Chain A
Amino acid sequence: MSRYYTDEHEWVDVEGETATVGITDYAQEQLGDIVFVETPEIGAELSQGDDAAVVESVKAASDVYAAVSGTVVEVNDALEDEPALVNSSAEEDGWFFRVTLSDKSELDDLMGEKAYKAFVDGL
């Protein structure tokens, strides 16, 4: 399994043809208490950059973009009852959705962990 990051503060775990997407720990910290996550519909065809999900704090609602193109095969139902998972475990239990990748070459333009850390430090 390999993990990628985007400059929109999303992470992507790739295992075979499947990618799991969430927002980074840095992002949840900036957003504050998460109160609601709207996940995409299963079966939705996402193109890279599309609005894929919405994450809401008390004060703001942020769009989560599709970090990679693909078809949504699973969403994290636990977030419906417990949006706080995004705060407590952004990069594990607080994942948003899984897609089957339609274009693996998109991963080439994403960052690795080190690069993302450097990116965040530069903000």
Chain B
Amino acid sequence: MRYLPLTPHDRQDMLATVGVSSIDELFVDVPEDARLDGPIRDLPMHAGEMAVEAHMKKLAKNNSAAGDMPFFLGAGAYRHHVPASVDHIIQRGEFLTAYTPYQPEIAQGTLQTLFEFQTQVARLFGVDVANASMYDGSTACWEAIVMARRITKRGKVILSSGLHPHYVSVAETMARFTKDQLVNAAPTLEAATDGANLLDQIDDDTSCVVVQYPDILGRISDMSALVEKAHNHKALLIAVVTEPVALGAITSPGQMGADIVVGEGQSLGVGLQFGGPYVGLFGCKQKYVRQMPGRLCGETVDSEGKRGFVLTLSTREQHIRREKATSNICTNSGLCALAFTAHMTLLGEKGLRELAMLNHKKAVAAADRLAKIDGVSVLNESFFNEFTLVLDKDTRPIVRKLADQKILAGVSLGRLYPDEGKLAHGLIVAVTETTSDEDVEILATALEGELA
């Protein structure tokens, strides 16, 4: 067995050192009737690389890979080109097979990388500080809500109808147990975001307002007025960014006054991977830093005065605070954070801005082309790289049918909001730097065919 170095002879020697005659004697504490008499049945025996590879390839082939066909899905996960060196860097064994940097003297590589990551995220979001990452955007969003409760000691949470429905579901699941009161609704197919409605709902019981930017339908709007009203009522504004590339083009939530900004970092460095692992981004104003969940890396010096980095403020965390911790989170998404930070370093500010504008303008061109189809209108007046088409019929069957024709057309709102009949006419279309003009033309032609 290629991964197990002990030889039968080694095992005999070691059993003798331990002072037992067989391995079974080391499992004496297992109750007799729970002991198995041999390998577990109904599972295959060990296999070589070639056989395993063949099995896995067969499974992989039974999927339509995004890169093999016109592809327009977004809604919280985006297909971007990841530079070749990013995957090389995350496969360095010293990063890939390291543990959480609990021994900082021999983990400066991971720690310095996290410090750079935190700084990049804070600057991208326009906030003072950021943590070393969370599981993903949806869990980061719930953690932000819990953090707001800790700060405001209030339980009313106003969720924008433009918040990703999976993020809403996660919050609903958790709020049922924590007794936080959620105010939320499904979106309506209008060009404007629901900012005006949210304003009316903020009161002195409000802990936080959660706004996605750009929102699930791709719409963007200034959140300054919401921030102001929230602050007037001593409530917090939480901004959620599921497409971080957008912040290379549009004003950051921090600039508009958001108190906590969370997001999904998958777009940079991390592939689609069918939904995970991704990387949750979490930033906030300096004054709330001790209420932040998750790991933090901080700068310090060693005993010779050299600059170095350590995990810090860990007394907020579960291994020390136990039931009083800010969160039960024990890990971050370290390797994905490394991929994010390496991709961001390759881009630099210039590259990020160019990438963002490339995404945006391709999306504008695509929206204009698709708007020409009879029976299709573009909902959005403004957007980044994602917009919502409104058709005159349910888009779910169309999406399925086009997928059979090897066109991955977008995300039907009917799938995300199965209980909201009217929304099923909406189709979210994402366009990135990986989308070609030809892809757009293929989609347009196919939609024309479906709607003729």
Contact = CB atoms under 8 A, between A and B. Distances in A.
Interface string B306-321: 0000000001100011
Contacts of A57: 315
A59 B290 contact: no
Contact of B321 (A35, A36, A58, A61): A61
Nearest to B310: A58
A59 B317 CA distance: 11
Contacts of A58: 315
B53 to A, nearest CB: 47
Main secondary structure of the interface of A (DSSP, over half): strand
Contacts of A35: 315
Contact of B320 (A36, A38, A61): A61
A36 B324 CA distance: 16
Interface in B269-306: 290
A95 to B, nearest CB: 21
Contacts of B321: 61
Interface string A41-63: 00000000000000011111100
Interface size on B, as a range, is under 10
Interface residues of A, number: 9
Main secondary structure of the interface of B (DSSP, over half): helix
**Which of A57, A58, A59, A61 has the most CB atoms of chain B within a 10 A radius of its CB?**
A61
B48 to A, nearest CB: 48
A59 B321 CA distance: 10
A58 B315 CA distance: 7
Contacts of A60: 315, 320
Contacts of A61: 315-316, 320-321, 324
A69 B321 CA distance: 25
A58 B320 CA distance: 10
A36 B316 CA distance: 11
A67 B316 CA distance: 24
Contacts of A59: 315, 320
Interface in A11-37: 35-36
A58 B321 CA distance: 12
B449 to A, nearest CB: 64
A115 to B, nearest CB: 31
Nearest to B317: A61
Interface in A46-99: 56-61
B112 to A, nearest CB: 20
Contacts of B315: 35-36, 56-61
A75 to B, nearest CB: 16
A59 B314 CA distance: 8
A49 B76 CA distance: 47
Contacts of B320: 59-61
Contacts of B324: 61
Interface in B316-342: 316, 320-321, 324
A36 B290 CA distance: 10
Contacts of A56: 315
B118 to A, nearest CB: 19
Contacts of B316: 61
Contacts of B290: 36, 38
Contacts of A36: 290, 315
Nearest to A51: B324
A16 B40 CA distance: 75
A111 B42 CA distance: 69
**Which of A38, A56, A57 has the most CB atoms of chain B within a 10 A radius of its CB?**
A56
B316 to A, nearest CB: 8
Nearest to A36: B290
B154 to A, nearest CB: 14
A108 B380 CA distance: 71
Interface string B346-380: 00000000000000000000000000000000000
A60 B316 CA distance: 9
A38 B290 CA distance: 10
A61 B221 CA distance: 42
A56 B321 CA distance: 10
Nearest to B322: A61
Nearest to B316: A61
8 contacts: A35-B315, A36-B290, A36-B315, A38-B290, A56-B315, A59-B315, A61-B315, A61-B320
Interface of A: 35-36, 38, 56-61
Given A57-B315, A61-B321, 8 more contacts: A35-B315, A36-B290, A36-B315, A58-B315, A59-B315, A61-B316, A61-B320, A61-B324
Q: Which 9 A-B pairs have the closest CB atoms?
A: A61-B315, A56-B315, A61-B321, A60-B320, A61-B320, A60-B315, A36-B290, A59-B320, A36-B315
